[in-house]
Structures are given as C-alpha cells and as structure tokens.
Chain A
Amino acid sequence: MSDFPDDLKYAATHEWLRLEEDGTVTMGISDHAQELLGDIVFIELPEEGKVVDAKQEISVVESVKAASDIYAPISGEIIAVNEDLADAPETVNSAPYTDGWICRILPSNPAELEELLDADTYAGMCE
C-alpha cells in the first residue's frame, strides 16, 4: 500500500510538494509513482537556476522498465537540485518523500499551490 503523507500537496502527474518555512517548495515523485516505475536506475536531474512554468517538463526518471517525465507542479526558479541522486537514483525508491527529493523551486506565483491536490484526493485518484 502506497504512502500519502497528509502534510504534502500532490499533482495529478504524481509529483509531491512541500511548502517550506522560507516560502520555497521541495518536490519529488510520490510513493505510488516510484512503486509503479519499479527499480529506478537513472535520473536526468533538473537544471539548477532554470526558470520554469507550471506543467513544464523538468526531469526524467528512468527505471529498468520505463522512462517517466517529471513536470514542474508550479512556476518558479529551480534553486536547488538533489545531486546525490546522480550516484544513487534508487534513493527515490527507498525514500521518495525524504532523501529522494528531486529539486527545490522558488515559486513565482504561490497561488498555484492552491490548485494542487491534497493527500486524500490524490490517494483516491491512485486507487
């Protein structure tokens, strides 16, 4: 059974977001998404410093079975990237909500956060 922490927001494209105290947003892919992908072996990391629009493709996560595009759930600037994933992409399988984070975004339009899904809605979608 997948884990859907209550304190996170979710996108229908299976990314999770956490609003940090400093106003930035940390994101990754959901437990459900990593389960579907299976063993992750490569991540094409987002580009640090890049300004992106909501729903823009920013990264690719590849498992043995499939490649999956990762989208920016909100508009903003990518201010940090989890470089540890370059050598240990499997961290996304083992800890999707903690050490397996993918990047941090400085939102340019925080109102977009309101459009994202809460845990119950997203969990319902994954059933």
Chain B
Amino acid sequence: MGMRTALFDKHVEAGARLVDFGGWDMPIQYDSLINEHHAVRQHAGVFDVSHMTIVDIKGTQAESWLRYLLANDVARLKEVGDALYSAMLTEQAGVIDDLIAYRMAWGFRLVVNCGTREKDLAWMNKQAAGYDVELTERQDLAILAVQGPAAMHIVMDLLNSKGASAEAVQTGSLKNFSGAEFGSWFIARTGYTGENGVEIMLPNSEAPGIWDELLAAGVKPIGLGARDTLRLEAGMNLYGHDMDESVSPLSANMGWTIAWEPADRNFIGRSVLENQREAFKRGELPVLSGLVMEERGVLREGLRVQCTFADGAIKDGVITSGTFSPTLKHGIALARIPVGSQNAALTRCEVDIRGKLIPVRPVKPGFVRLGKKVFE
C-alpha cells in the first residue's frame, strides 16, 4: 500500500482507478480520460495534487538564498502572492527539478514535484548551509487544482459562502500567476492545464469537505491521465520526461525561465549555463520542439524523430512526451530535435512508428490554450 492523500477515500467514492505514482496511491482516471479532459476544457475539473511537495522558506536570508538556488530570480516577485516558474539546476546546469515559487508575507513557498522530493530536499538542505533560512515541508496541507473556464466563478462562489471577500479575490490580489492567503488557505491562479483556474492549498482536514462542495457545484474529478493530456496540449514540460539532470534547460524550452539579468547575480549552474547559452546560439544544442501529426495515430514518448535538413543532412531526435490530443483529435508531442549545421533549415520531419516514417510538423511547443488551438 502506498501513501495516501487526505482525499483517498473521496477518490474511491468517486470510482477512481488508483495507481502507484511516486509512492502514492493516486487516481489515474475516474470514468474516462477523454471525458475528464473535455470537462476541464469546457467547464471545470478538480485534481487532487496533494502528493506534490510544499516547502516553506523563512529566515532573514530567504530571498538571497533563493536568488542563489534558482535559475529564475525571486527578486522579480514584487508583491506578496506573486509567483514564478523556475528550474533548480546542478552546478553543471542540469535540471534537478522545476517548481513554482510564491512570495509570501512571511517568506517564500515552493511547490516541487513528488517524484523528486527526496533529492530536492537533500539538495536544498545542503545548499542552505551557512544561510539564515529555515525550510519546512508542509505535509499538513492538501492541494486541490480547480481548472477550466467555469473554475474561477465556482471557486468565488465557494469563497463567498465561506465569508471571504470575493471582491478582493476577483479584483485585487488574484491576478494571473499570483495568489493570496485567506485564513488557513492559500489560493493561487496557477495550474497545469492551459485553462483559467486556481490551485488551493489548505489543511488536510478541510480538503474532503471542499472536494464534496466542488463536486456538488458541478466540478468533475480529474485523474492523472487527463492531467497529462491537458498539460501536454498546453505545451508544459513534465519533469523526468521532457527534462532531467542530463538536459540543459535551454534544450528543454526553459530559456525563458532563466533570469540572466542582473548579470552579477550568482546562481547555481550559472557559469556552465553561460557557456551553454553561447553553444545554443551557435546551434550546437538540440531544441525542444512541438510536433503535430495530422495523420491518424498517436505519438509516444521514446519514438525516433528523423529530421532532414536543407543541406541534405539527416539527424535523429526523440519524442520526450507524446499523446493523442483529445481537443485537436490528432497526435501531439514534445520532441528534442537537432539543429542543422550552419543553421541549415529543417525541411522534413518524420516519426518512426513501428518501422513506418510518418510525416509530422514541428511547431512552437503549445497546442491548446483556453480551449482553442494556438499553433499555426
């Protein structure tokens, strides 16, 4: 038996098929992955993501320490509640994990992946030596992600019924990619679906009650299966698939998350990353591209991508995440693909499916946003 979140009984009640996920017994799907996927794109769904690890950072040097620990710069978080996405790098600029950092009134809150929990905590504790920082893992909190076009409205109603000032939530403090504390709850407009919505961190004891209220308000429970198809349609990376410690963040479409300025900010991995940046500009590092397959079929992680360039060179790439897009009804993928010598243009891209080369189209990562197709 694996670890259980505060909502385990609720998953069983909702008819979930449970699987082991990083040591946790988690719902992979309730009735149908595709129905769950559409529910989030068209109305609202709730995900139990309590298996993810919350680490609160306090202490007089919390900010300066995080500016050293993370490739993105928490000094950019101007107001309490502001959030950013960042990589945590090794000295060799490999990606240890990706995470979200929130500025809190009392310090910072990080949310990291469950599969990397132990190595993340070990790394953070090691790097914290010599700093006045205090790290506290918050196993007492559950996380519910409520996502979809109707999600904000439903959560506002729920907050209203609890006496919180919904006006404050709607207008003031809750911009996209920011959050606010309401009593023992922290609500942030973040997510992993490409839809509007919130992630709610709240005491374990309160989670089952809120779950019931959300379901009663017409929110559908969503399993990890649809969580994956939704995030891939949104073009979002999954740690351990699209990147890991052997991959430069530049080759994982994470260049935009690196805060190069101010140039005198020293962060772990910076010097190696500066060299990678030059190599990347020279076309020596692969890129993470989106792939679209309009023929029938499904793209899968691990499939070989054969890339033909204008100078006649043929080089192989690989799919790092692939699926069938329930919204677009065709195959989509993220793939690490090579760049042509002297920037020779990529003229043809094919995926090797059971020995047959099927044409695919490289596009910017990101396929669906707010329910609509976003690539050309």
A-side residues, CB < 8 A to B, are 38-39, 41-42, 44, 60, 62, 64-65, 67, 86
Contact = CB atoms under 8 A, between A and B. Distances in A.
A62 B29 contact: no
B296 A65 contact: no
Interface string B271-291: 000000000000000000000
B23 interface: no
B33 interface: yes
Contacts of A64: 33-34, 225, 229, 298, 323-324, 326
Contacts of B300: 67
A60 B354 contact: yes
A64 B324 CA distance: 6
A67 B298 contact: yes
10 contacts: A39-B32, A42-B298, A42-B324, A44-B297, A62-B297, A64-B34, A64-B323, A65-B33, A67-B298, A67-B300
Contacts of B297: 42, 44, 62
Given A41-B298, A42-B297, A86-B296, A65 B354 contact: no
Contact of B225 (A41, A60, A62, A65): A65
A65 B298 CA distance: 10
Given A64-B298, A67-B298, A39 B33 contact: yes
Interface string B199-218: 00000000000000000000
Contacts of B33: 38-39, 64-65
A44 B296 CA distance: 9
A38 B324 contact: no
A93 B326 CA distance: 16
Interface residue SS majority, chain A: strand
A39 B36 CA distance: 11
B296 A42 contact: yes
B298 A62 contact: yes
Contacts of A60: 354
A68 to B, nearest CB: 11
Given A39-B32, A64-B34, A64-B229, 6 more contacts: A62-B298, A64-B33, A64-B324, A64-B326, A65-B33, A67-B300
B91 to A, nearest CB: 37
A114 B300 CA distance: 38
Report which residue of A41, A42, A62, A65 has the largest number of chain B beta carbons within 10 angstroms of its beta carbon: A41
A67 B299 CA distance: 10
A65 B29 CA distance: 11
Nearest to A62: B298
Contacts of B29: 38
Nearest to B296: A42
Contacts of B323: 64
B281 to A, nearest CB: 38
Nearest to B323: A64
A38 B225 contact: yes
Report which residue of A38, A39, A65 has the largest number of chain B beta carbons within 10 angstroms of its beta carbon: A39
Nearest to B300: A67
A56 to B, nearest CB: 15
Contacts of B354: 44, 60
A44 B297 CA distance: 8
A19 to B, nearest CB: 31
B168 to A, nearest CB: 40
A44 B326 CA distance: 18
A44 B353 CA distance: 11
A38 B324 CA distance: 13
A38 B30 CA distance: 11
Nearest to B329: A41
Nearest to A39: B34
A67 B29 CA distance: 18
Contacts of B296: 42, 86
A84 to B, nearest CB: 14
Contacts of A62: 297-298, 324
A65 to B, nearest CB: 6
Contacts of B32: 38-39
A80 to B, nearest CB: 20
A98 B300 CA distance: 30
Contacts of A67: 298, 300
Interface in B2-48: 29, 32-34
A38 B34 CA distance: 9
A44 B358 CA distance: 14
Nearest to B32: A39
Nearest to B298: A62
A93 B34 CA distance: 12
A44 B33 CA distance: 21
